[in-house]
Amino acid sequence: MDDLYWDSAYAVARRLEAEHPDVGLEEVTLNLVYNWVISLPDFKDEPELANDDLLEAIYQEWYESRTTL
């Protein structure tokens, strides 16, 4: 699997969907997104580089991937 970084919102969202397929996105907070991303085995970026814009981009990609299925 490819390494994941904060600026890879689509790839990170796909991995989160694979790891948490049954979670209700309406219950997911940016704090949960952050914690789940940094716990992914292939995540190689610096946790302190996260910001709300990056986390929202990941969440948006995840939401869109679910609504287009």
Reported confidence tier of residue 67, pLDDT bands at 50, 70, 90 = confident
Would you say residue 44 lies in a domain?
yes
| The pLDDT value given to residue 21 | 94
What is the C-alpha to C-alpha distance for residues 55 and 9, in angstroms, rounded to an integer? Answer: 8
Mean pLDDT (the chain, rounded) = 95
SS3 of 1-18: the string is CCCECCCCHHHHHHHHHH
- For the chain, the distance separating the N- and C-terminal CA atoms, rounded to the nearest angstrom, is 23
Would you say residue 4 lies in a domain?
no
| The pLDDT value given to residue 69 | 54
One-letter amino acid for residue 38 of the chain: I
Q: Tell whether the model's pLDDT for residue 24 goes beyond 70.
A: yes
User: CATH number, domain at 40?
Assistant: 1.10.10.600
Number of structural domains, the chain?
1
Mean pLDDT of 24-28: 95
